[in-house]
């Protein structure tokens, strides 16, 4: 109900049309919009068409075409008033648009952003942009501050920093107390150490291994015979790092770490210790003379025996070839086998 009074019927008609019937007789010359008064029309033209930003923020240098936009800016950016609350959860937002995006992406899971390179859909335009740059264009815009490494995804950069530079071992084995910087290393550890899964097979001999590194070492040392461990003291090279270490300790550094338990003798090699025990303490005579029944604990002793005792033994030559023998029986066996 309105209690306004007028002097003539024309003024009453204008009141009814402008206020009560909301007749919009002021039309914009640039679009189809119309307004009830000239003030609103002027505001529309300045804000929409002329883009005049006359509403300035008192907190920063931002300016707006609408007073409502300025109000929203101050409440959302400077006063941090989160008046838009999600009806599904306790999240709140400063802008209604952000609330709308939240509901669509988090609760309704609406994936309206489709990749033009593949069939993947995303809930947010930012996720689509990251996908295209990282997967299809391979743009590495995430650079490590410690080194020159760069990555297509921020998550990959984070993993790199934590595992390589910060050495954060956040992956713990459920079987033992071992910890790892990468989930992949934990998986390999469980499969190789605890589950004993040998999924790496050699194509040359069909041997299987729990680790890819073990398979690679096997191929290089057994099949390719690659000697990549070279001695810094001489020109010798070895297939295993352990063999190189043994060589340096025994040949160049003369480290005698193999001690006899029966006497005070010590040796640079385990093989030398074994021969010492067999010949000196166990008296094992495994070097047999081919001319007599004599046997010796050392190959050197056998050689001395042959040179001193059997040096003048007459050798019988085969009449059919150049082979010689020390006894007639050996010649006869040779002749029967090769010249019949």
**pLDDT tens sequence across 285-319:** 888 887 788 888 888 888 788 777 877 665 678 88
Class of domain 111-165 (CATH, top level):
alpha beta
Average the pLDDT over each of 100-109, 273-282, 320-329 and give the range with the smallest value. 320-329
218 falls in which pLDDT band (50, 70, 90)?
A: confident
- Sequence-distant (6+) residues with CB within 8 A of 307 are none
- Mean pLDDT, all residues of the chain: 83
Q: Do 111-165 and 26-106 fall under one CATH topology?
A: yes
Q: Regarding predicted confidence, which is higher, 15 or 157?
A: 157
- Sequence-distant (6+) residues with CB within 8 A of 111 are 121, 122, 123
Extents of the domains making up the chain: 26-106, 111-165, 227-283, 287-311+324-338
**pLDDT exceeding 90 applies to what percent of the chain?**
6
Q: Report the predicted TM-score, pTM, of the whole model to 2 decimal places.
A: 0.31
Q: Where are the alpha helices (DSSP H) in the chain?
A: 9-15, 38-44, 67-73, 96-102, 125-131, 154-160, 183-189, 212-218, 241-247, 270-276, 299-309, 328-338
Burial class (CB in 10 A: 0-12, 13-18, 19+), 131: buried
Class of domain 227-283 (CATH, top level):
alpha beta
pLDDT 10s digits, 23-40: 567 888 888 888 888 888
Predicted confidence (pLDDT) at residue 22 exceeds the cutoff of 70: no
Residue 281 in contact with residue 262, Cβ under 8 Å?
yes
278 falls in which pLDDT band (50, 70, 90)?
A: confident
Predicted confidence (pLDDT) at residue 326 exceeds the cutoff of 80: no
pLDDT 10s digits, 123-180: 788 888 888 877 887 878 889 999 988 888 888 899 899 888 988 888 999 999 899 9
The whole-angstrom separation of Cα 141 and Cα 157 is 10
**pLDDT exceeding 70 applies to what percent of the chain?**
91
Give the pLDDT of residue 179.
92
Assigned architecture for domain 26-106? 2-Layer Sandwich (3.30)
Q: What tokens does 72 get?
A: 């929203």
């Amino acid at each position: 109900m309105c209690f306004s009074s007028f002097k003539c019927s024309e003024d009453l008609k204008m009141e009814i049309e402008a206020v009560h019937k909301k007749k919009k007789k002021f039309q914009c010359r640039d679009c189809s919009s119309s307004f009830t008064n000239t003030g609103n029309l002027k505001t529309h033209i300045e804000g929409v068409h002329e883009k005049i930003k006359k509403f300035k923020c008192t907190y920063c240098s931002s300016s707006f075409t609408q007073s409502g936009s300025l109000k929203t800016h101050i409440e959302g950016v400077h006063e941090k008033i989160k008046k838009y609350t999600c009806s599904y959860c306790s999240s709140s937002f400063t802008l209604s648009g952000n609330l709308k995006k939240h509901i669509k992406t988090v609760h309704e899971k609406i994936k309206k952003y489709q990749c033009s390179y593949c069939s993947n859909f995303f809930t947010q335009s930012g996720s689509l942009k990251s996908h295209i740059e990282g997967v299809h264009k391979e743009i590495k815009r995430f650079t490590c501050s410690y080194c020159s490494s760069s990555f297509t995804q921020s998550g990959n950069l984070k993993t790199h920093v934590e595992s390589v530079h910060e050495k954060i071992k956040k992956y713990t084995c459920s079987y033992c107390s071992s910890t790892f910087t990468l989930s992949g290393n934990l998986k390999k550890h469980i499969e190789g150490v605890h589950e004993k899964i040998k999924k790496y097979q050699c194509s040359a001999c069909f041997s299987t291994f729990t680790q890819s590194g073990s398979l690679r070492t096997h191929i290089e040392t057994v099949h390719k015979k690659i000697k990549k461990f070279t001695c810094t003291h001489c020109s010798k090279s070895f297939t295993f790092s352990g063999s190189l270490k043994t060589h340096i300790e025994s040949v160049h550094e003369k480290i005698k770490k193999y001690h006899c338990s029966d006497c005070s003798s010590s040796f640079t090699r385990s093989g030398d210790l074994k021969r010492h025990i067999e010949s000196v303490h166990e008296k094992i005579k495994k070097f047999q003379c081919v001319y007599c029944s004599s046997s010796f604990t050392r190959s050197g002793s056998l050689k001395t025996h042959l040179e001193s005792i059997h040096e003048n033994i007459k050798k019988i030559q085969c009449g059919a070839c150049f082979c010689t023998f020390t006894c007639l029986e050996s010649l006869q066996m040779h002749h029967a086998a090769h010249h019949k």
